[in-house]
Amino acid sequence: MGEPRFLRMLKLVPRNSAGTVTAYYLSSEGSMWDEIDFEFLGNLSGEPYILHTNVYSQGKGDKEQQFYLWFDPTADFHTYSILWNPQRIIFSVDDTPIREFNNSESIGVPFPKKQPMRIYSSLWNADNWATRGGLVKTDWTQAPFEASYRNFSVESDCVWSSESSSCTSVSSSSSTSDQWISQDLNTINQKRLKWVQDNYMIYNYCTDFKRFPQGLPPECTPCPSTT
């Protein structure tokens, strides 16, 4: 496993950004790739961005959660971070956790921990699906569409070995590496996570019975609101 915590500051496309997607994600290579996504779906002027998150393992995703943000992401830079260790993936915005995806390999759910991933950023046209399911198209008279990135950093990077079940530190002390390799949400952050999911989550694959008529994915059963 690669570096456990990634942080990047973004300021999104202002005004009419409908049809555009600003992305910040981790991904491995090949047909059985792993991926951890932050995608920001543009909208018409005055309408909120949608923050789209997803997790892929061995080439399969379909684990989307979507959120509105509690601020204007085009007015200033905000920090979007991914904590990635063998037990869980935590998505955070300005140090407020918005999603926790736990390792459920014990019940047969693949978890992205065996492939190194690289960091990518992109801004692209996705007007076939990004805004209101593709009903609103990109208005090219609004071009150029510009998003700003700065202050990318990796905290406590280490290399995870699935064979030895250990995190070998690259630039940090072993005690710090041990902290990151097992970090979870404390009581305060659990409350923050619940606040975000109660007030700003607009889609959760774990509650989409129409999409999964034969039964929800197995990782959804224990705690659909946080997985």
Taking the chain (227 residues) in consecutive chunks of 10 residues, what is each chunk's mean pLDDT?
Answer: 76 97 96 98 96 98 98 98 94 98 96 93 97 96 97 72 54 52 85 98 98 96 52
E strand or H helix at 119, and its extent?
strand 118-125
Active site residues: 35, 39
What is the Cα–Cα distance from 72 to 93, expressed in whole angstroms? 13
Bridge partner list, 23: 39, 122
Pair of tokens at residue 4? 């456990």
What pLDDT, on a 0 to 100 scale, did the predictor assign at position 159? 61
Q: Is the pTM of this model over 0.75?
A: yes
Please tell me the distance from the alpha carbon of residue 193 to that of residue 152, in angstroms, as a whole number.
23
Pick the CATH number of 5-220 from 2.60.120.310, 3.90.420.10, 3.40.50.2020, 2.60.120.200: 2.60.120.200
Classified as helix, coil or strand, 9 is strand
For residue 173, the model assigns a pLDDT of: 47
